[in-house]
Amino acid sequence: MSRELNSLHELAQLYQVETSFHDGLGNLREPQPDVLMAVLRSLGAEVENLDEVPAEVRRRRRQLMIRFAEPVSVSWDGQSVTIPVQFSGSDTSDWLRLRIGLESGEEKRWELRRSDLPLRSSHEVDGGPVECRELEIPQLPFGYQDLEIETSSGVEHVHLVSAPGRAFSQHADRLWGLFLPMYALKSERSWGVGDFTDFQDFVRWISQEGGRFVGTLPLFAAFLEEPLEPSPYVPASRLFWNELFVDPTCAPQWGTSEEGRRMFESSDFQEELQRLRASELVDYGRAIAHKRQILEALARQFSEEGGDASPAFRDFLSRRPEAVLYAEFRAVHEKRRQSWNDWPDRLRDGTFVVGDYDESSKVYHLYSQWLADQQIESLHSVARGSEVGVYLDFPLGVHPDGFDAWLESSSFAAHVSGGAPPDDFFRKGQDWGFRPPHPEESRRLGHRYLREVLSQLMRRCDLIRVDHFMSLQRLYWIPNGWDPENGVYVNYPTEDLLAILAVESNRHDCVVVGEDLGTVSPLIREKMGQHGIHRMYVGQFENSSHDWPPLSPVAQGVVASLNTHDTPTAVAFWRGLDIDLRREMGLLNEEEWNSEKEQRVALIRNLQSFLNGEGDPFSESAELTAVIKWVEYLAGSDARYVLVNIEDLWSEEKPQNIPGTGPEMPNWKRKSRYSLEEFTSDDSLRDILRGIDSCRKLVQE
């Protein structure tokens, strides 16, 4: 058995799969053979049982040893790059013909003698010689180039990524901003959920109070009906936007559609609108059904007016030609009401014909995406005009039944899902439910999909937070049918991914922030510093009940906050409500609960003292005072950015999301306690913001 296991571990290493690791509890874990084989099959290995492993090791080793070149090569700061190329015994080439296709459309062509390439090493494969030589590529402009190498054996392609050494930096003063999910932003005019117009008003108000950026959760397309998936971290697509956030009153057809106006003014419509506005939670199904009635009427007017020939719409399609396919995909999905994984082969291959979908459904989705594209562009324009940056989130995964997983199916690994091993908060690990990126297939395609989604997002924001930044180095895979404790880490091409981030960041003048919370290797943090990626400092994780001072120093170049969307609010943390919830969820026994509560009380007393608070730290007035002082502590630090959850400033105790829970909790649904009109006219809140602004300005002096 040990010999078979050794062979399996060797095969895992050949596929960049880790055969042992420490989980979040510090325990050494060695995945079961069946788990390793399941993951290896997802990566392309042909193994069903241990007996087949030795032959697969030989096949994989040979594949790597005779591969002409790596599919991706990275150069930094415009430097030349040396690419190892391998010539097998059957390749008798004396001359190499090379062509580099630049993004500008230009070409560079030249020829080289094989003997002119420095010999790096030589070895034998199946009794035949293999030479590894070094091909030097001259300096290239920043961006993506295609290298074509022709030998007597054929033509090989290498994707060249020429990247600036560091991501874009604003070189700005130390800034502060506010965070609120767009869906939670309610107003007197919105339709039961915040929209792009509401957020424009939010941005203008933030600017008046001295804030210089605004953060929210991902705004990508979602399944809003069946199957309903409200989580913005499992989007139906990262290439398109969530039409729920569209404001129909800003559509060009709003003033010309009699059908839409009659529908909007009807008593039934207005009564439902009032019910949606009055609800404390976002009812996604009812909200989109209500809004869709109007959007469909506007879309019909758009078609009747020949809107598809308008310059604005033609420009949209020229930039986003895949929008038509997206609309068709969503229309087919709505008609069949089943995952694309269960479609007939013709549909899975993208061959759609009349009758596969309702034309009205296609027109609705295409029209809605055009409006969403216009309105998020308008939001970004208003923000920049107000000197406010838009800070958007880039989720790690996509819905397995969604458009991206269908369109770019080879870029995602099948029969596995991404997650995390056991840690202090999730003793049984986490299964996030999405298909992880396939590292080898993504490289083969030059990371085409990643480049596209980053480009689309960065065009519409000024700061981007990359969720689970550790995934640029490795990601935890769980085979289908296994629980989250039985997963393995798969390694990713870190240099490739960092280079693409740097290229897109500089192209779009977009600051990159990496979510580096939890278990993160020293290597990835070193790379973040090296390439100008901002780290995160979250106050709830940077404290100690035993040390003095109880808060860790705030480093330069970070985005500092008290919490995140996945943690308790500030006052809930102060009261230890998160500890109570973990006991209710069965994650803590009575003894553990008592111990953690005692530690939290000690921490809170230390924090109050450190923040110069007075009185009973658990009185309502003392709590809010301490939270404000805590925010001001961050604002007075060297952090480049300070992000304030606006709900903390009125002592909200309910979170937006409780990780590890499902439909039993109102995750991603809770609206803000106060409306936009209410909190923007609150003088006490404005006084708090002025205090934060003053702290930031003092640091700059």
Stretch 82-105: mean pLDDT: 88
What residues are paired with 84 via a beta bridge?
Answer: 134
pLDDT of residue 334: 95
pLDDT of residue 496: 98
Stretch 481-491: mean pLDDT: 95
Cα–Cα distance measured from residue 649 to residue 443, given in angstroms and rounded to the nearest whole number: 45
Of 238-247, 368-377, 519-528, 631-640, the one with minimum mean pLDDT is 519-528
Confidence of residue 701 (pLDDT cuts 50, 70, 90): low
For the chain, domain boundaries = 2-65, 78-163
State pLDDT tens for residues 593-615: 999 999 999 999 999 999 987 88
In degrees rounded to 5, what are phi and psi of residue 405?
Answer: -65, -25
Contact 66, 86 (CB under 8 A): yes
Cα–Cα distance measured from residue 165 to residue 531, given in angstroms and rounded to the nearest whole number: 6
Longest alpha-carbon distance in the chain: 85
Cα–Cα distance measured from residue 435 to residue 238, given in angstroms and rounded to the nearest whole number: 14
pLDDT of residue 543: 86
Cα–Cα distance measured from residue 305 to residue 409, given in angstroms and rounded to the nearest whole number: 37
Residue 416 Cα distances to 16, 234, 270, 439, 642, angstroms: 16, 15, 46, 13, 37
Residue with tokens 């199904």: 285
Stretch 434-455: mean pLDDT: 96
pLDDT over 60 (residue 426): yes
State pLDDT tens for residues 50-81: 999 999 999 999 899 889 999 999 999 989 89
Stretch 450-459: mean pLDDT: 97
Confidence of residue 484 (pLDDT cuts 50, 70, 90): very high
Stretch 147-165: mean pLDDT: 93
Mean pLDDT of the chain: 93
pLDDT over 60 (residue 680): yes
> Which stretch of DSSP H or E encloses residue 537?
strand 535-538
What's the CATH fold of domain 78-163? Immunoglobulin-like (2.60.40)
Cα–Cα distance measured from residue 202 to residue 677, given in angstroms and rounded to the nearest whole number: 10
Cα–Cα distance measured from residue 85 to residue 242, given in angstroms and rounded to the nearest whole number: 45
The upper half-sphere exposure of residue 77, i.e. CA atoms within 13 Å in the direction of its Cβ, equals 4
pLDDT over 90 (residue 424): no
pLDDT of residue 88: 83
Stretch 114-141: mean pLDDT: 88
Handedness of CA 231, 185, 670, 265 (dihedral sign): negative
pLDDT higher at 616 or 384? 384
Q: In what order do the strands lie in the sheet with 128-137?
A: 81-88, 128-137, 119-125
pLDDT over 80 (residue 1): no
Q: How far is CA 162 from the centre of its chain?
A: 23
What's this model's pTM, rounded to 2 decimal places?
Answer: 0.94
Contact 688, 628 (CB under 8 A): yes
Contact 167, 509 (CB under 8 A): no
pLDDT of residue 154: 87
3-class SS of residue 222: coil
What residues are paired with 393 via a beta bridge?
Answer: 465
pLDDT of residue 696: 93
3-class SS of residue 100: strand
pLDDT higher at 27 or 221? 221
Cα–Cα distance measured from residue 81 to residue 136, given in angstroms and rounded to the nearest whole number: 6
Provide the token pair at 55: 């032959």
pLDDT over 60 (residue 267): yes
Confidence of residue 545 (pLDDT cuts 50, 70, 90): confident
Confidence of residue 559 (pLDDT cuts 50, 70, 90): very high
Residues written for the chain: 701
Alpha-helical regions (H) of 67-211? 196-208
